[in-house]
């Protein structure tokens, strides 16, 4: 299992999840009913409501975003930052054990 940590926008205590390899971060968050990940499109890359901010230590461990992901990142409800990613595009692999992301203040 791969541990991931999601930090709420208010800076409160991080929620730690155990995800299966191959799951997307979005799928793991939705399965755990994480408040703050809406994922309205179910991972089809058409909603941008699965936006997260990836902590610096993990940015280089993620594959570069595709052009389609970059395009959708223009539509996030909370400000887009250099570490913004769409969690449905983050495939959880063992190298990402301990992945920590901050949740945006709003997804809609
Ligand atoms: Fe819709 Fe990620 S779930 S873009």
Q: DSSP string spanning 7-64?
A: E-TT--PPEEEEE-TT-BHHHHHHHTT-TT---TTSSSSS--TTEEEE-HHHHTTSPP
Identify the pLDDT of residue 67: 98
Residues lower than pLDDT 70 in the chain: none
Identify the pLDDT of residue 82: 97
Task: Give, for ligand 1, the residue of 34, 74, 88 to mutate: max count of ligand atoms closer than 8 Å to Cβ.
Answer: 88
Rounded to the nearest angstrom, the distance between the alpha carbon of 1 and the centre of ligand 1 is 23
Rounded to the nearest angstrom, the distance between the alpha carbon of 22 and the centre of ligand 1 is 16
Residue with the smallest CA separation from ligand 1 atom 4 is 45
pTM for this prediction: 0.96
């Amino acid at each position: 299992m791969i541990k991931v940590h999601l930090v709420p926008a208010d800076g409160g205590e991080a929620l730690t999840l155990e995800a299966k390899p191959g799951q997307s971060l979005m799928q793991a968050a939705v399965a755990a009913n994480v408040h703050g990940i809406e994922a309205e499109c179910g991972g089809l890359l058409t909603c941008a409501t699965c936006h997260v901010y990836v902590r610096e230590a993990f940015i280089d461990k993620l594959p570069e975003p595709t052009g389609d992901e970059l395009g959708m990142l223009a539509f996030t409800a909370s400000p887009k930052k250099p570490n913004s990613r769409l969690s449905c595009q983050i495939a959880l692999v063992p190298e990402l054990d301990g992945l920590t992301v901050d949740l945006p203040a709003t997804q809609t």
